[in-house]
A and B are shown apart, each in its own frame.
Chain A
Amino acid sequence: MTPTTNKEPMEMATAGSGPERDERLDRKPGVAERGTGHSITIRGLSAYYGDQHAVRGLDLDFRAGEVTAIIGPSGCGKSTMIRCLNRMHEEVPGARAEGRVLLDGLDLYAPEVDVTAVRRRIGMVFQKPNPFPTMSVFDNVAAGLRLTGTKGEDLRERVHRALRAVGLWNEVKHRLNRPGVGLSGGQQQRLCIARAIAVEPSVILMDEPCSALDPVATLKVEELIDELKDRYTIVIVTHNMQQAARVSNSTAYMLDGQLVEHAPTAEIFTNPRDHRTERYVTGKFG
């Protein structure tokens, strides 16, 4: 693990103090300013696969209580970047990351930070729904909770609450002990979301969560994201621009491992400032 440039691990960095922050993002008070919610700040993030430089010197802010969408062409580094947020990137052999990722001011890449603790605070939902096949619906949702020693009545209550939150409760309440893989694709993905929120993380990362789903299931997940954003900060990577437009408060456009523009979603899609963003969203790209 490459050491970071940060000398004081507990340094409190105010969100949005980096250079060239887009002032359009400051117009409404974020949830963090209202005193609740969790924000992530990226400063100088670089990620490598061996020699390949996938993310280059990225500065980006994810405001609390909001959904931020990351768009960009294939290979622009958006999936790599999101995986640096919960330190999953380093699980790939030969991969490493440098820079700072601050969750509520705490640097996740500080040397003494426990990786599993980071991942318990930052949950992830993947492109292909991946419920554990040897576990029942209940056990799937409980999987993360059991890691922290939750059991008994407390466990049951939290599992039920998570299933209710994702709108699966009525569909599975009579089959909690049946295998998780017996559900439809859309239900499986919502099950994975329930599994992620059962541990009540601060942030939820979603890497193209609807790519493998049909349109109806996609809409259900999008509605769910809208409901969840009051309680969690959400970062969603998507190659579907219409989805980014529907679902997010602000959108960041990445190209070749760098951030091109980050602005409120309505503006990215009506009047982007950077001509590269304009080219991409209007489909003139390529």
Chain B
Amino acid sequence: MHETRHQFREALRDLERQTLGGLELVITQLDRALEAVSCQDVELAAMVVADDDRIDGRYLEVHQGILSLLARQAPVAGDLRVVAALLHIIRSVERMGDQCVNVAKLVPLSGHEQPKDAAILEALEQMGRLARVQVLGARDAFGARSSELAHGLARQDEEINRLNRSIFRRAVEIGDDAELREWAMFMVLVARCLERIGDNTVDIAEQTVFVITGLFRELSDASHPTENVSGR
């Protein structure tokens, strides 16, 4: 059966594809940034910084596309919620890209052939893996409009937060060692960037729930639910 408002639906689908595609760009950047950190690869880090332009460009494209769609098609109800959500999500994409750049910028600053702490490195690696899973999960949750996956993202983010706190504690522990101290501080900053990336994926999960239910709720894991019902 022929679809009504075909051009509108096509345009909306394209916008969603572009937005979620931005998440894949983020993953590429994240992978590279983390590798640059663990291998102290300054050239790779510079590439990450340069390639952020692509994510910024994607942001502008989607933003313009949304304005155009709002002006020309007057979306309502479910469609309107999707458009509003995409606007939030592409902002999150842009911010996540910026966090990857922040990580990359920390690489040359942390110096060459620095002595490293195994515990911190392992935690960072774990954080990186989880962040990657989170970003992919955000893409899947929104794409499938799945409330389960969205709540799952909120829960998993707790793990990233926990690792962040443990890296901080460890850095404090080894703070007496003059050689390791500076490096450890930079690693704390890297961890912070990864934690922020995790928060952004939770934002995307919240937008997913908003699109499904029409209600905006702040998500956190099941052990301390925050009832912050707004939007009605």
A residues with CB within 8 A of B:
241-242, 245, 268-272, 277-278, 281-286
Contacts and interface: CB of A to CB of B under 8 A. Distances in A.
Given A277-B77, A281-B77, A282-B77, 7 more contacts: A241-B76, A270-B80, A270-B81, A282-B78, A283-B5, A284-B5, A285-B4
A277 B78 CA distance: 11
Interface string B72-87: 0011111111000000
A278 B78 contact: yes
A269 B4 contact: no
Secondary structure at chain A's binding surface: helix, strand, loop or mixed?
Answer: helix
Interface in B63-78: 74-78
A281 B34 CA distance: 47
B214 interface: yes
A282 B74 contact: no
Contact of A271 (B5, B74, B81): B81
B8 interface: yes
A271 to B, nearest CB: 3
Query: Can you list the 3 inter-chain pairs with the closest CB atoms, starting with the nearest?
Result: A271-B214, A269-B76, A283-B5
Contact of B214 (A270, A277, A284, A286): A270
Contacts of B8: 283
Interface of B: 4-5, 8, 74-81, 214
B5 to A, nearest CB: 4
A257 B78 CA distance: 25
A277 B80 CA distance: 14
A285 B76 CA distance: 14
Contacts of A286: 4
A270 B76 contact: yes
A272 B81 CA distance: 11
Contacts of B79: 282
B4 A271 contact: no
B75 A282 contact: yes
Given A271-B81, A271-B214, A284 B76 contact: no
A258 to B, nearest CB: 20
A268 B78 CA distance: 10
Given A270-B214, A271-B214, A278 B77 contact: yes
B5 A269 contact: no
A58 to B, nearest CB: 23
A245 B4 contact: no
A285 B77 CA distance: 14
Contacts of B4: 283-286
A224 B200 CA distance: 46
A272 B77 contact: yes
B229 to A, nearest CB: 13
A269 B80 contact: yes
